[in-house]
Amino acid sequence: MQPKLLYFNPSDVGGLADYAHEQADALARAGVTVEFLTTAKFPVRTGSGYHVRPVLLDAPNGGGSKLRRKITYAKRLLKNYQTLNAEIQKGHHDAVLFGAFSEYLAPLWAGKFCTLARQGVKFGAVVHDPVRDFVVGPRWWHRRSIAAAYSFLRDAFVHEEIQLDTVRPMPALRTTVIPHGPFQVPAATKTRRQSREKLSIPDDVFVALAFGHIRDGKNLDLVIRALVDLPSLWLVVAGKEQSSAQKPLSHYQNLARVLGVENRCRWVHGHVPATEIGNLFAAVDLILLTYSREFRSASGVLNTAVTCRKPCVASSGGGNLRSVVEHYGLGWFVEPDSLSALKAGLFTALRGQLQPRWDAYAAENSWARNAQLVKEKLLA
């Protein structure tokens, strides 16, 4: 009989949604019956091997005061955990996997899952951000929330060897390193020249792409400042603002204007449909993954770049991004948060002397391997 997994994924955001789909689909191919709890906005792909149930509530999308949005978010989050608890109580599954793990408000919802864990329910979670520097509310509440979120887990799946900060000792928690596989990207439907014509970019210039949510931690300010001293480099920024707490796209557009480099910048504002990602990547020569030193996770954009065979200039704190870029030669890694280091890395990239080991990365970081490790640990 096939093992049955309840996969909890309330996020429909970009790379997290893509990751959840790829992992759930790989688990299904590995012989696991996957019941996937998500929201109505989750981008379901045709031919998926798992059963999707859009029973979770979406996060609030604008409107009303900041306080009202926070209250609505808290209510919906707690309601989603109530829904998950009700599904577990039915006893139809062998284990529960959190595909988008979060500690937010955990002291208010984790208790019921601790009880279930003591009763024999097996819980696992993919911990995309093992180092949680982003603090919501007082630090004492932040620490208490982290401890509560880990308290009922038996298995934590990470993308880099790490000693998890669980706040208090949790000797029963097992940590397993799993690969982050390359994302599937629909093939480009336009030629490189056609894609550049759409963006009004000359065919003979070198173009770098900053792709995904626009947020402060991606150091777009430094990228735009670097353009001043790199006159042969063009920039495409494609994505939407992550939240109102981050600098908006207009901030970067104004900076480019003030520095006199706006004629070499192109802005694709908003969500990029999956059918257009291949065309966008076909138009460029380089991917920018210029995260701050606070970023210590795997990068979904890197795993799109691998599929499209586009090298990167990357920066971050220690973690999976740095490890794989350097080990497989996927690009040039530079010191984070440094304009001079970024300019040096971009100058080297313009010369283009690199031999990435694309096939080795794809073979050694497959979704099949990801799913097999999860299955062996969580469903054994």
* Per-residue pLDDT, 63: 64
Q: Do residues 291 and 321 make contact, with C-beta atoms less than 8 angstroms apart?
A: yes
Q: Do residues 345 and 334 make contact, with C-beta atoms less than 8 angstroms apart?
A: yes
pTM exceeds 0.85 = yes
Query: What would you report as the CA-atom Rg of the chain, rounded to the nearest whole angstrom?
Result: 21
* Per-residue pLDDT, 299: 92
* Per-residue pLDDT, 133: 63
Alpha-carbon distance of 379 to 102, in angstroms, equals: 22
- The CA-CA-CA angle for residues 336, 13, 41, to 5°, reads 175
Structural domains of the chain, with CATH? 4-181+366-378 (3.40.50.2000), 192-363 (3.40.50.2000)
Burial class, 37, CB count within 10 angstroms (exposed 0-12 / middle 13-18 / buried 19+): buried
Burial class, 341, CB count within 10 angstroms (exposed 0-12 / middle 13-18 / buried 19+): middle
* CA nearest neighbour of 35 among 76, 84, 72: 84
Alpha-carbon distance of 156 to 378, in angstroms, equals: 10
Alpha-carbon distance of 198 to 195, in angstroms, equals: 5
Alpha-carbon distance of 306 to 357, in angstroms, equals: 10
Q: If the chain, 380 residues long, is cut into consecutive pieces of 10 residues, what is the mean pLDDT of each piece?
A: 94 84 97 96 88 91 76 93 97 95 93 97 94 75 94 96 92 96 93 96 97 93 98 96 84 97 96 92 97 91 96 94 96 97 97 92 96 96
* Per-residue pLDDT, 132: 66
